[in-house]
Amino acid sequence: MHLLSDRAILVTGSTRGIGLAIARELLAAGARVGVHGRDEAKVRAACAALDPGGARTLACAADFADPEQAKAAVQRFVAAAGRIDGLVNCAGGGEAKAFRALTLEGWRATFRLNLEAALLATREAYVEMRKQGRGAIVNIASLAAHGPGRWMGADYAASKAGLVSLTQSLALEAARLKIRVNAVSPGMVETDMTAVLTPEKKAAIGIPLGRFAEPQEIATVARFLLADESSYITGQVLHVDGGLWSRI
């Protein structure tokens, strides 16, 4: 299927894990894709692996620990692609940390990466999408955004809750301009972050569907929200968590 054959889409945090799977899914759907990561060599390696001919990927290296670089990354993508039809805010990170171990600087660093960089990337993309009269933005939030953040630190959970709120606020403002804004809240996903968990620890989480998600299962939902298949969906948060939300 080539549901996105006329679209240029930037995926932040796309050299590994969920972001890499999303970039792969969008390429398969026909899109031209911006691949982003902190390390330029890793970005170029991901582009080469995803698109050996190099015709449909654009390398966008930037360290979102400095949120201003997110704005610059979008600007570079637009300059290279000539437009931006979609943005996926997937860049982020965090640690499983007890509340007593939190520091103000650590809190701010998590917010810079998970929320402020997404804000600036989104604002820059939104400006371009307004000119075009259409666009779609997908924010990769987390199950932690909707509860006590049992498996991550309070800073991570709060930053992802902010991303959900940003999604809903912008969706209301942007709808009249035919720009849709939605979020995906994954639960437990088979990535390098969760690879350290033993089968026993995974089972103890109690996911109703009995397993962790594959990154591809998050990617197909992101692709759906970017494509015209979801043309009447905005301001929504789709939980892709194997039913785990119902048990929190």
pLDDT tens-place string over residues 77-113: 999 999 999 999 999 998 888 899 999 999 999 999 9
pTM value is 0.94
In a domain? residue 178: yes
d(CA 82, CA 247): 45
Residues contacting residue 48 through CB under 8 Å, at least 6 positions apart: 54
pLDDT in tens, 157-197: 999 999 999 999 999 999 999 999 999 999 888 887 777 77
Q: How confident is the model at residue 74 (pLDDT cuts 50, 70, 90)?
A: very high
At 101 the three-state DSSP class reads helix
| pLDDT score recorded for residue 1 | 60
Please report the beta strands in the chain, taking only residues with DSSP state E, as ranges in sequence order: 8-11, 32-37, 57-61, 86-89, 135-140, 179-186, 237-240
How many domains is the chain built from? 1
Q: How far is Cα 130 from Cα 142, in angstroms, rounded to an integer?
A: 28
Active-site annotation, residues: 156
Q: Is 161 among the domain residues? A: yes
Q: Is 2 a domain residue?
A: no
In a domain, 149, yes or no: yes
CATH number at residue 133: 3.40.50.720
Return the structure tokens found at 181: 């804004």
- Find, among 141, 156, 132, the residue nearest to 13 by Cα: 141
- Asked if residue 65 belongs to a domain, the reply is yes
In a domain, 1, yes or no: no
Phi, psi of 214 (to 5 degrees): -85, 145
Number of CB atoms found within 10 A of residue 156's CB: 25
Flag whether 210 is in a domain.
yes
Nearest to 120 by CA among 75, 71, 173, 63: 71
Evaluate whether residue 19 is within a structural domain: yes
Q: Give me the residue label for tokens 């080539």.
A: 2
> Rounded CA gap, 37 and 50, in Å?
14
Q: Is the distance from CB of 18 to CB of 191 less than 8 angstroms?
A: yes
Task: Give the position of tokens 């660093």.
Answer: 109
Tens of pLDDT, residue by residue over 18-36, are: 999 999 999 999 999 999 9
Residue ranges making up the domain that contains 45: 8-247
Confidence grade of residue 248 (pLDDT, cut at 50, 70, 90): low
User: Nearest to residue 216, comparing CAs of 26, 9, 11?
Assistant: 26
93: phi then psi, degrees, rounded to nearest 5? 180, 175
pLDDT (average), residues 145-167: 91
Query: What pLDDT, on the 0 to 100 scale, is given for residue 78?
Result: 98
